[in-house]
Each structure stands twice: as C-alpha cells, then as structure tokens.
Amino acid sequence: MTSTDLFPGQWQPQVVLMAALEIGLIEALLDQPRPPARVAQELALDERATVRVVSVLVDAGYLEQRSDGVVVAPDARALLDPADAAFVGDRLWHLHDLLRRWVQLPEVLRAGGPARLERTPESLRAFIGSMRVGARERARPLADQLAALFPATKTVLDVGGGPGTQALAFQDHGWQVTVLDFPEVIDLMTDDLARAGIDVIKGDATRAIPAQGFDLVFCGNLFHSMSPAECASVAASAAGALASGGALAILDFLRGTGLPSSLFAVNMLVATSGGDVYAEADYRRWCEAAGLRDFAVYDVMGHSQRLLTAGKR
Ligand SMILES: C[S@@+](CC[C@H](N)C(=O)[O-])C[C@H]1O[C@@H](n2cnc3c(N)ncnc32)[C@H](O)[C@@H]1O
C-alpha cells in the first residue's frame, strides 16, 4: 500500500516547538504572560520570526493568548516545564538530533552511514532523557510479561538499562536489579539509580559483562545499535552472566515486520556505524551459538518491538 499522507503526524508544529524550547522562548513564557514583541526583545530574537512562531504555538495549544500577552497554556505546562517529570524537552531535543541526521540521507546513500553529528553532553542527556520517557508506558507491562514467563526470577541484569525506567519496573516486582551501561550514562543517572537501590556496573557490553549468576539478563533496545559481530559477542557474554535455569530476554525490532521496523533500520543507518534491525533468524543463531535453548518470540502489547527469549540449562 502506498502512503499518501505526505506529512504524517503533522511534523511542523513539533519542529516549531523544538525551536522554541531550544531558544529559551518557552521557558521565558512559563509563568509570566508577555507580548511576543517584548519577549523577542528580551531574548534578542528577530521580532518577525518570533511573532510567526508564537502564532503557531498558540494555534497548536502550547501557548495561550491573554489580554497582557502570551503564556504557556495550563494544559501544556507540565510537558514544557524542565522541572516537571512529564517534561518532553529531552525527547524533542533528541528528535531534533535525529532530524539533523535524517536530512543527510542523500549523502549517506552515496557514501554510507552514519550521518555526521557531533555528540555533546547535551545530546547525551537528551538521548537518555528521551529513552526514560519513551520506556514509561511499556516498562510495567513488559516486567509483568517477563514475570509471567519466568516466575522464579529474583535477580536481573539490565544491560543498556542506564535510563532506569525499565529497571524501576523490574524492582517493583521485588527483583534485585543491576544496571550495566556506559560510564558516562551511569554517571548521568547515578543519583536516581542509587536512590532506588539499583546496583550499577560501568562498562561496555561488547567488551565484557563482568558479572554472573543472574536469573534474568535483559537487553532492551540494545542489539539494534551494534554490528552483527558485536551482537554475537554480547549474546555470549549475557549467557555467561546467567545462572543455570536463567533466561536471556531481548526487546528489539525484527526485520520484516513492517514500516516501523524498516524505518528504524534507517535510523540506525544514519545514527550508528554498525547498527541495524536484525532478523529473527539472526537472534536465534546468536542465542544458540551462546549455548542457549528454547528460543521464543513474543508480541509486546501495543508496541512494534518483539520480545525474544532463550534459556540456559
Ligand atoms: C536505545 S537505549 C535503550 C534503553 C533501555 N534499555 C530501553 O529499552 O529503553 C540503549 C541503551 O544501551 C546503552 N548501550 C548501548 N551500547 C552499549 C554497550 N556496548 N554497553 C553498555 N551499554 C550500551 C546506551 O548507553 C543506552 O543507555
């Protein structure tokens, strides 16, 4: 079927909102109504541009027009306030970074990926913040699904679990959770994880998983960022970190499962040097080569990714 909607998901209001967040316009209008011309002057912005952008923000419902100027709309306040847990700024910032990669697709087609984009502390913070928000809806149902599949679980290693959302949902099941992630990600999240009593390991899973004896090793949205050789190596290390009777659980896109999956493969093309969306047969091969058995694939309610599991005898 051909997609006839050339602007799926109305991308323009989001681009306008991203720009307004980045430039400080939203923060300036969080509490105090101001006429657009005045806020332009205060932030040293172009007045003509500010007035047009403010019009979109009002029409989209992010700002509200009052007699004394414009202000963030009460309904949107939690989403736009950096101090609120519902803040969507990190997600939008990360989307902005992705757009800057996606527009380089013609060059990537000529020369191969990834697209060029400097990684900064802000972009890492936005990436991790975005992952935290993105996992919120599915974290609890996925933990329930895993608890039903592996009821004897008491200890979990969450590889690539630095954002912490899934780890917290595992902990709600009474499981003892350890998160392994890159040092810079653990450093970002250390306070939140420590406060929740979650153990951490700083490391690179493609080099080693320096821990053992877990009932469950979970890898959520990790494999797609790695090359096939790295995936095989992480599957082997994950198997080594399991107690006998334990299980490896992988949440990821599967090749050949529709538009979200083929789009995500392009995402990995522009964003990583070796990442991809892999086929069920690839995962099965990596798990079996790692000595794991009973490979199985499950749907995850309401999500495009699949849950893949395999056990250690
Ligand atoms: C796309 S995020 C997914 C986060 C979370 N697991 C989830 O499902 O929402 C991938 C995470 O894996 C981490 N990661 C990627 N490659 C890794 C590696 N080789 N070793 C350890 N962590 C890695 C990233 O830092 C990031 O926190």
* Same domain membership, residue 283 and residue 235: yes
In the reported structure, the alpha carbon of residue 284 is separated from the centroid of ligand 1 by a whole-number distance in angstroms of 21
154 occurs within a structural domain: yes
In the reported structure, the alpha carbon of residue 61 is separated from the centroid of ligand 1 by a whole-number distance in angstroms of 34
* Same domain membership, residue 290 and residue 147: yes
* Same domain membership, residue 153 and residue 257: yes
Where does ligand 1 bind, in terms of residues with CB under 6 Å? 131, 135, 160-163, 166, 180-182, 185, 204-206, 220-222, 225, 251
In this model, does residue 1 exceed pLDDT 60? Answer: no
In the reported structure, the alpha carbon of residue 220 is separated from the centroid of ligand 1 by a whole-number distance in angstroms of 7
**pLDDT at site 175:** 98
pLDDT in tens, 98-135: 999 999 999 999 999 999 999 899 899 999 999 988 89
* Same domain membership, residue 255 and residue 167: yes
Range of the domain at 68: 11-80
**Ligand 1 atom, smallest distance to 219 CA:** 6
**pLDDT at site 3:** 54
**pLDDT at site 9:** 61
Question: For the domain that residue 201 is a member of, what is the CATH number?
Answer: 3.40.50.150
**pLDDT at site 6:** 57
DSSP 270-308: HH-SS--PPPHHHHHHHHHHTT-EEEEEEE-TT-SSEEE
Which residue's CA is the closest to the ligand 1 atom numbered 11? 160
What are the backbone angles phi and psi of residue 163, rounded to the nearest 5°?
Answer: -60, -25
pLDDT band at 210 (very low <50, low <70, confident <90, very high): very high
DSSP 159-224: ET-TT-HHHHHHHTTT-EEEEEE-HHHHHHHHHHHHHTT-EEEES-TTT------EEEEEEES-GG
Tell me how many domains the chain contains: 3
In this model, does residue 2 exceed pLDDT 70? Answer: no
pLDDT in tens, 32-89: 999 999 999 999 999 999 999 999 999 999 999 999 999 999 999 999 999 998 898 9
In the reported structure, the alpha carbon of residue 77 is separated from the centroid of ligand 1 by a whole-number distance in angstroms of 30
Question: For the domain that residue 35 is a member of, what is the CATH number?
Answer: 1.10.10.10
* Same domain membership, residue 24 and residue 155: no
* Same domain membership, residue 233 and residue 158: yes
